[in-house]
Chain A
Amino acid sequence: MKRYLTLLHNFLVISLKRELEYRTNTILSVLFSFVWVVTTYIITTVVFGQAGKIAGWSIHDAILLILVYYVISTFLRTFIAPSIIDFSQNIRLGKLDLLLTKPVDVQFMTSCQKLNMIRSIRGFFMFVVLMLYATQYYPISLFTACLAFVFGILGILGMYAAYYLLATASFWFENIWNLEELFMSMYEAGKHPFDIYQGPLRAVALYILPVAGIGAIPTLIIRHAISPFTLALFACSTLFLFFLSRIFLRYALRQYTSASS
Chain B
Amino acid sequence: MIKWAFRSIMNELVISVQHLTKHYKVYKKQPGLGGSLKALFSRTYETIKAVDDVSFDIAQGELIGFIGPNGAGKTTTLKVLSGLLYPTSGSVSVLGFNPWDRKAAFQKQFSLVMGQKNQLWWDLPAIESFLLNKAIYEIPEKQFQETLDKLVDLLDVRDVLNVQVRKLSLGQRMKCELIAALLHNPKVLFLDEPTIGLDVMMQKVMRDFIKSYNKEFGATIILTSHYMEDVKELCKRVVIIDHGKKLFDGELQGIIDKHARNRILSIVLSEDVPRKKLEAIGEIKSYEHPQATILVPRKEASERAAKLLQTLPVADITIEEPPIEAIIRDVFQTTK
**Residues of A at under 8 Å CB distance from B?**
3, 6-7, 10-11, 14, 17-18, 21-22, 94-95, 97-104, 106, 253-258, 260-261
Taking a contact as CB atoms under 8 Å apart, the answer to whether A101 and B83 are in contact is: yes
**Interface locus among B135-143, B204-212, B256-264:** B135-143
A22 and B166 alpha carbons, distance in the complex (Å): 14
Judging by beta carbons under 8 Å apart, are B102 and A261 in contact? no
Partner of B121, one of A14, A98, A102, A103: A14
B79 to chain A, nearest CB (A): 6
A97 B86 Cβ-Cβ under 8 A:
no
Contact of B104 among A94, A103, A258 (CB under 8 A): A103
Residue of B nearest to A109 (CB): B136
Known pairs A6-B135, A98-B114. 16 more at Cβ < 8 A? A3-B138, A7-B135, A10-B131, A14-B124, A18-B121, A97-B79, A97-B82, A97-B117, A100-B82, A102-B107, A254-B86, A256-B85, A256-B86, A258-B85, A260-B71, A261-B117
Instruction: Please state if A257 and B83 are interface contacts (CB–CB under 8 Å).
Output: no
Contacting residues of chain B (53-105) with chain A, CB-CB under 8 angstroms: 71, 75, 79, 82-86, 100, 102, 104-105
* Complex interface: chain A residues within 8 A of B119 (CB): 98-99
Contact among A7, A95, A103, A257 with B108 in the assembled complex (CB-CB below 8 Å): A103
Report A-chain residues with C-beta under 8 Å of the C-beta of B102: 100, 106, 253
Bound together, the chains give a CA A257 to CA B84 distance in angstroms of 8
Check if B137 sits within 8 Å of A103, measured CB to CB: yes
> Which chain B residue shows the least CB distance to A114?
B121
Chain B contact-residue range equals 35 or more
**Given A97-B114, A101-B107, A103-B104, are A21 and B123 also a contact pair (CB < 8 Å)?**
yes
On whether A261 and B192 interact (CB within 8 A), knowing A98-B117, A102-B107, A104-B136, the answer reads yes
Residue on A with the closest CB to B22? A257
Residue of B nearest to A19 (CB): B123
Closest residue of chain A to B128, judged by CB? A14
The CA of A155 and the CA of B138, in the complex, are separated in Å by 32
B94 to chain A, nearest CB (A): 12
Q: Compute how far the CA of A186 lies from the CA of B195 in the bound complex, rounded to whole angstroms.
A: 46
Q: Mark B165-202, 1 if CB is under 8 A from A, else 0.
A: 00000000000000000000000000011000000000
Q: How far is the CB of B315 from chain A (nearest CB, A)?
A: 50
* A17 pairs with B82, CB closer than 8 A: no
Residues in B whose Cβ lies below 8 Å from that of A97: 79, 82, 84, 112, 114, 117
A94 to B119, CA, bound (A): 12
Interface 0/1 of B133-171, CB less than 8 Å to A: 001111000000000000000000000000010000000
A–B Cβ pairs within 8 angstroms, 19 of them: A3-B138, A7-B135, A10-B135, A14-B124, A18-B123, A21-B123, A21-B124, A22-B123, A95-B117, A97-B79, A97-B82, A98-B112, A98-B114, A99-B119, A103-B105, A253-B102, A254-B100, A258-B85, A261-B116
CB neighbours of B137 from chain A (8 A)? 103
Complex contacts, B82 vs chain A, CB 8 Å: 97, 100-101
Contacts of A261 in B (CB 8 A): 75, 114, 116-117, 192-193
Q: Which residues of B contact A253 (CB under 8 A)?
A: 86, 102
Report B-chain residues with C-beta under 8 Å of the C-beta of A6: 135
Chain A neighbourhood of B114, CB < 8 A: 97-98, 261
B214 contacts chain A at the CB level, 8 A cutoff: no
* Chain B residues whose C-beta falls within 8 Å of the C-beta of A260 in the assembled complex: 71, 75
Residues of A within 8 A of B117 (CB): 94-95, 97-98, 261
A6 to B135, CA, bound (A): 7
Closest to B26 in A: A257
Cβ of B111: which chain A residues have Cβ within 8 Å of it? 101
Q: Is the CB of B135 within 8 A of A101?
A: no
Q: Which residues of B sit under 8 angstroms from A255, Cβ to Cβ?
A: 86
* A97-B114, A100-B102, A261-B192 as given contacts; A18 in contact with B84, CB under 8 Å: no
What residues of chain A lie closer than 8 Å to B100, measured between beta carbons?
A: 254
A11 nearest CB neighbor, chain B only: B132
A150–B108 CA distance with the chains assembled, in angstroms: 36
Measured CA separation A217–B82 after assembly (Å): 45
The chain A residue sitting closest to B184, CB to CB, is A103
Instruction: Provide the bound-state CA to CA distance between A101 and B188, in Å.
Output: 13
Return A260 CB to nearest CB of chain B, in Å: 8
Q: Considering only CB atoms, which chain A residue lies closest to B75 in the complex?
A: A261
CA distance A22 to B71 in the complex (A): 40
Q: Which residue of B lies closest to A17 (CB)?
A: B124
Verify A7–B124 contact, CB threshold 8 A: no
Q: Tell me which of A10, A11, A104, A258 contacts B84 (CB under 8 A).
A: A258
Q: Which of A100, A102, A257, A258 contacts B136 (CB 8 A)?
A: A102
Determine if B24 is an interface residue (Cβ-Cβ < 8 Å).
Answer: yes
Cross-chain contact B86 with A18 (CB below 8 angstroms): no
Q: Distance in Å from the Cβ of A14 to the closest Cβ of chain B? A: 6
Q: Inside 8 A of A14's CB, which chain B residues have their CB?
A: 121, 124, 128, 132
CB distance from B18 to the nearest CB of A (A): 20
Q: What is the CB-to-nearest-CB distance from A134 to chain B, in angstroms, rounded to a whole number?
A: 37
B24→A21 contact, CB < 8 A: no
Q: Which residues of B contact A257 (CB under 8 A)?
A: 24, 85
Q: How far is the CB of A15 from chain B (nearest CB, A)?
A: 9
Chain B residues with Cβ below 8 Å from A22 are: 123
Given contacts A95-B117, A257-B24, contact A103 B124 (CB under 8 A): no
